[in-house]
Structure formats: C-alpha cells, structure tokens
Amino acid sequence: MQDRGHLMTELRNPRSMHIDRVSIPEAFDIMNAEDATIASEVAAARASVCRAIELVVAAFESGGRLIYVGAGTSGRLGVLDASECPPTFLSDPRMVQGIIAGGWEALRRAVEGAEDSPEDGAAAIDQHDVDARDVVMGISTGGTTPYVHGALVRARQRGARTIFFACVKAEHVPSEADVEIRVLVGPEVVTGSTRLKAGTATKMVLNMITTIAMIRIGKTYENLMVDVNTRANRKLVDRGTRMIMTVTGLDRPAAAQLLEDSGGHVKTALVMHFRGVDRETAQKLLEQHRGHVAPVIQR
C-alpha cells in the first residue's frame, strides 16, 4: 500500500489541532482563517492557470471540448462546473463535460474504490471519443488518483492536450500533462478532508478557466452575460431586458419588445438596435464576428 503521509493534503494542521475542544464560534474562526488563505495560493498559480485557459480557448475555437476527469469531490466539482456552463453562457452542453469515477451514481453517493482503476479512467476517455481538438483536465487534489492519471495518459495517446490540477507539490506527485496547476493550500482543518480548502481552491480555478474561456470566445459583452437563454425562466427574461436597457438606454417596454423581436437572444437584440437591422441580418453579422458583440455594435 502506498504511503501518502508525506503529501501536503495529508498532513495535520497545527492551527486546528484542538478544534474538537473549542466553542462553535472559535471553530468558525479557525475555519474562516484557513479559508482566507486560499485566494493567495490560487494567485500564486496564475501563470499555469492562464496557460490552461489558453489551451481551452484554442480547443473551443477549433470545435474541441474541455473534459474534466476526477473522483469524489474533484469529480463532482468538474461535473458541477460543466453543468453550469450551458445556462450561464448558452454553450453547447458538449463543449464542457465532466467525467466522475463511479459514474452518475457517484454524484449522489460515494462509490468507494472507483478511483483506484487507471484502466477505467482510460476507458472513459475512449467512451468520450477524445481527439486532438480536445483538452482533458485531470483533477486530483491529493495528486495520486489512479483513475485520473489513467485518463490523462489515454488522452495524450489520443492526441489531446492535458491539464493536471493538484494541491500537492510536483516533486511529490509528478505528471506529464501539458500544463500543471498546483494550488498549495496546505493541510486541511480536518486532516485529509480535501473537500475543504482544496475543494474551494478547485472551484475557484474551474470558475476562472471556463468563465475566462467563454469570455474570450464572445459569450459576454463587457461584463454582461449577453449569451443567455431568456426562454428558460422569468428571471432570465428580466435579466435580458435589463441588459438591453443598460447597453441601449431604451426604456423597459421598448427593451422588452426588442428582446421579443430578437427571438429572446440578447446579443441579437443589441446588434439589431445598434446596426438598425432585422433579426436575420443581426445573426449573420454575429456569425461573421464569431459571436463577438463589441466589434459589431461599435463600428
């Protein structure tokens, strides 16, 4: 059996050693103080996160996908981030996908032992028909998950670019990924419970990767979420209407009518307004500019 005791995520945290004997407010303060250190450790990984984003943008622009692979908390966070992209950015659900060891059952209940098979990780990559256009990101906060490493090896064999995320030092757990993201958040408040600081760091990094990549391919105008499905619910109809009001200066009734005329698509509505064109022409202009609103309406 492999001894993982030297890994940063397995070490005891001296600052929480007596957390079982303090009051609830004191326990809160301990956890809050530990969580406050996460952002600076993510910042220290800035260069590698940016390189990862560049790979993902290139994949999207070539018709490829970002595929997360993980087990346990890491797998669930990958699936979560993937599932949030379509409603946020109106992206094709195939663009960002999550693979979790143990399959969909593992999202709701731990499937113990599923993470121990590199062969299963490789098989999952084959099942997703990964190719050279894709980017596969393995997430293993403790760094050693066989399922994840098996998936990354197979992804490289199939020509995909690879990213490896871990919260342990490279010298302790090396990888051969094109980009390594190491966010060294240190020992957890409860020893080995990487759903805590390591999980928070994972969510922060995944947020950055998909959000900035989507921005780069034209899914926002300024900081407005203009590529949104306003047909989904009333909240998004209201948000779409307000975005049109903000950018165009129209009053609410006029903005609501413009949104309706555009087929519920804020980007199309903005182009219709600023270029004085109908819906079909606006959509063609957006296609010519690869979905980017700014170069169309600022002409």
Q: Is 41 a catalytic residue?
A: no
Q: Length of the chain in residues, anyone?
A: 299
Active-site choice (84, 171, 180, 260): 84
Q: Is 54 a catalytic residue?
A: no
> Strand (E) positions, the chain?
66-70, 96-100, 135-139, 161-166, 179-182
Q: How far apart are CA 77 and CA 285, in angstroms?
A: 36
Active-site choice (34, 115, 180, 188): 115
**Nearest alpha-carbon partner for 154 in 69, 263, 30:** 69
Find the angle CA(80)-CA(174)-CA(146) to the nearest 5 degrees.
55
Q: How far apart are CA 111 and CA 106, in angstroms?
A: 5
Q: How far apart are CA 94 and CA 64, in angstroms?
A: 9
Q: How far apart are CA 140 and CA 245, in angstroms?
A: 44
Catalytic residues, by residue number, are 84, 115
